[in-house]
Amino acid sequence: MKKYLGTAICLIYSLIKFSGMKLLLVKSFKFTLLNIVSPLTEVEIGRNATLTFGKMIRLKSGSKVRVRAGAHVEIGANTFLNHGCMIISHESIYIGQEVQLGPNVLIYDHDHDFRSEDGLKGLKYKTSPVEIGNNVWVGANTVILRGTKIGDNCVIGAGSIIKGQYPPNTIIVQKRETEIIEYK
């Protein structure tokens, strides 16, 4: 019973929050009525940016979606962002349908351009779109970097750092070795 009450509260909260955002950002924000969003999530949309949510998006507490000026983010139907996930776009991030993001997954379509004339304080970025296909499962604490394209039906192991092209129907695991060194 407690679970259903919490879900109902999140559903009502997201309806109120997203309806208010839609009133303020008429063309920039698209969503359906059935989304379940924790009150502890953050959604920011910059000037001339767009954010599109499909049906039944679920965002757990601590999740952040930030769409910077001129950027575009689209999240497909039945997609789940677990606690602490962060999506920050300066260009374009597309997440397909039925995608499951484990806790603390980070998705960035940009890097700081530290070689710019002003260095890091100049806030210049190198950007490249990120695409995540349908039915993808991303394990906890994974970082997905700019220029990444993940095909449909992929599984990404926890703690991975992902950059590049990954074909559909693959399991992506980054192996780590632990070395134990004795000392006196």
Structure tokens at 7: 């879900």
DSSP state of 1: -
Rounded to whole angstroms, the Cα distance separating 132 from 93 reads: 8
Tell me, what amino acid is at 109? D
Contacts of 120 (CB under 8 A, 6+ apart): 112, 114
Residue of 72, 83, 90, 112 with catalytic role: 112
Concerning whether 72 is annotated as a catalytic residue, the answer is: no
Rounded to whole angstroms, the Cα distance separating 97 from 137 reads: 11
Residue 93's φ and ψ, nearest 5 degrees, are -130, 125
Radius of gyration of the chain (CA): 18
By annotation, the residues acting in catalysis are 112
